[in-house]
Amino acid sequence: MLPPKALLDALTSHASRLFNGDTPLPRSEFEAQFKVLLQSAFSKLDLVSRDEFDSQMVVLARTRARLEALEAKVAAMEAQPNPPAD
């Protein structure tokens, strides 16, 4: 994975070559090359898909709910008076 500054520098360099070409590119060609440029940059980052992010959020919410339930049970048990030892 590239450090953020190196990634931005590489993107800037490639984008400047697209914008400052000797002959202007047709819009469709420019869009295609820019899309390839962005996909290349994103592939160098440590990103997750939206589906994976959403599924991890569901797991986190479920885990958080179980933890809160366990904390409530422990608090209830701690609040009960201890019977005297024989």
Structure tokens, 37: 């440029």
Percent of the chain with pLDDT over 70: 85
Residue 17's alpha-carbon distances to 24, 28, 30, 38, 86, in angstroms, are 11, 16, 11, 14, 86
Residue 1, pLDDT above cutoff 70 = no
pLDDT digits (tens, 9 = 90+) for 11-51: 777 777 776 766 666 777 777 877 888 788 777 777 888 99
Average pLDDT, rounded, for the chain: 82
Domain ranges of the chain: 1-45, 48-80
So what's the pLDDT on residue 23? Answer: 64
Could you tell me if 11 and 35 are in contact, meaning their C-beta atoms sit under 8 angstroms apart?
Answer: no
Residue 72, pLDDT above cutoff 80 = yes
